[in-house]
Each structure stands twice: as structure tokens, then as C-alpha cells.
Amino acid sequence: MKKLLLALFISIFFSKAHSKSSYTIETLVRSFPIGAFAKYSFGKSYLFWGDKKNKKDITYGFIRPEVEFRTSGLVNYAGAKAYVYPLPIVGLFAGSEIGKRGLDTLDTFDCEKVHCKGVMRRNLYGFRAAVAYKKWFFTTEYRKSNLEFSKTSLPYVDEMTTLLGNGDDQSIVELYVSGYNFGDHQIGAIFLKNKMKNNKTSSTMTSLLHQYNKLPFSFGEKLSSSLISSVGVFKTRNEQEVITFLFQLKINSLREFLLF
């Protein structure tokens, strides 16, 4: 099945059919649990029904294979996903990524009692959706990841959810964002929930956010940029509640079919 999906991904990605390519460069910094990364993603969108006649038109669907590279120095990942958008406001996806961690310490974990170093593989699938009414908006994403770690003698850290995995485990991530647009600004709220299957632990983040879409510096005429700032409460797997700050800078090339 993995080989079939890989062959399908490659055939679509390098197809000569009419497509629109775009990329995103992203950096994120979080105060608790302490973390930061830089990410580059590139994809091609292939229209399979309808057409986008204007900015508000949603009467079309497209397929989008995408590759991604993510790094924070000692943690490095590469992966690929395939998205199917029957409508531009609803997307289904599946993919895989593999990464190597060279960490001797990791915030909120004792790396002598759990595995911090090692190779992680995630096979993931899920969906994302968005709705808007006038200046109000709501987006959500649901993602399941089947985890395989190179070391199994101890529980291992899943740094994406800040939870511990055991053996071949499965993580579930639920993300909800709602807010209001005014001019070049967006204000809203985020709720993020992470769950691990085998040890039945969870963590959550509830935050207020502000997004500014017109930064005072330019990356190019065909690029758009935004800065997200948020403050909220992170609830750890041990029920500890800690104030957390998050900053995310994102640069996008022109996106013909993607709405969010």
C-alpha cells in the first residue's frame, strides 16, 4: 500500500497536466514547552472539476501533492502528503514523514528515563475544513498519526504532541481556530488538543491570537507574509497549567486554489 501511494504521489506531482505550484516558508517559536522550528513546503495544485472565476468562488475541486522539510537544528524531518479538496473549504489528506532527533535534553522530559534521541516515522491522515460568514471565520484540522520509533526499550517522546509513546503508538491532534477579520488584522482564539492512544494521556493549549497580514517589510511582489502572535495556557500531560507565548512568521507565494 505504501509503495502504491508513493507511486501515485510521484505520478501526480510530476504530471504535465495544468497545475499551479506554490510554496510556504514558516518559522515558529513557542515559550512553553520550549520549542522552535523552520519549515519549507512546496506543492502543486491540479484542478479536477469546476473553475475559480473570482476570489470568492468555491465551485471547484483540486488535488495537491506536497513535500515538506522541517528543522530545529537537532531535530530534522522530511515528508510528503497528498491532499484532495472536493471543495476548497474541505480537504482530506494522507502522508508520511521521517525524522531524526539528536536531543540530549527536551523541555518537560527526563531523557534518562525516556527516549529523546532516535528516528521517528509518522504515517498520518486526516481532514481540514474552513467556513466564513462576512468577517467571521472558523477553521479546523483533525489528524491521526501512526508512530514508529527506532528505540522501544523505554517510552519515547513525541515532540509534536509533547506526549510519550509506547511501541507502535497512535497520536490524535485536534485544532480549532475561530476569529474575526478587520482590515489587515485578525483576532481570535485557538484550541489545540493532543492525545496518545497507548498510555491515554493528553495535552491542550487554549490561546488568544492576533494575526497581522501587512508587515512593514517586503519579501517580493509575488509573496505574501503574516505574523501570528498568541498568548494562552498550555496544560501538560501531568495536568500542569503554564502560560505560553507563540510567534509564527509565514511567507507564501501566490496561491491560486488554496484558501487556507
255 band by pLDDT with thresholds 50, 70 and 90: confident
Residue 244: predicted pLDDT: 97
List pLDDT tens digits, range 168-195. Answer: 999 999 999 999 999 899 999 999 999 9
- List the single range of 75-79, 148-152, 205-209 with lowest mean pLDDT: 148-152
pLDDT in tens, 22-40: 999 999 999 998 899 999 9
Cis geometry, peptide bond prior to residue 33 (ω within 30 degrees of 0): yes
Number of helices (H), then strands (E), belonging to the chain: the values are: 1, 14
Report the DSSP beta bridge partners of residue 27: 38, 249
Q: Which helix (H) or strand (E) holds 4?
A: helix 2-13
Provide mean pLDDT across the span 108-136.
Answer: 95
CA atoms within 13 A on the CB side of 191: 5
Contact 209, 228 (CB under 8 A): yes
Burial of 207 (0-12, 13-18, 19+ CB in 10 A): buried
Q: What is the mean pLDDT of residues 57-68?
A: 95
Band the pLDDT of 104: cuts 50, 70, 90: confident
Helix (H, G, I), strand (E, B), or coil: what is residue 12? Answer: helix
Identify which of 242, 243, 208 has the alpha carbon closest to the alpha carbon of residue 228. 208
Q: Is this structure's pTM higher than 0.85?
A: yes
Q: Side-chain half-sphere of 62: how many Cα atoms within 13 Å?
A: 26
pLDDT for 221 equals 67
**Average pLDDT in the 9-27 region?**
72
Domains of the chain: 2-253 (2.40.160.40)
Q: Is residue 17's pLDDT more than 60?
A: no
Return mean pLDDT, the chain: 91
pLDDT interval class at 223 (50, 70, 90) = confident
- Between the two ends of the chain, the Cα-to-Cα distance in Å is 29
In the predicted structure, residue 2 carries a pLDDT above the cut 70: no
Rounded Cα distance between 213 and 37, Å, is 21
Percent of the chain clearing pLDDT 70 (strictly above): 91
Could you tell me if 242 and 233 are in contact, meaning their C-beta atoms sit under 8 angstroms apart? yes
pLDDT at 218: 63
Residues 178, 186: contact at Cβ < 8 Å?
no
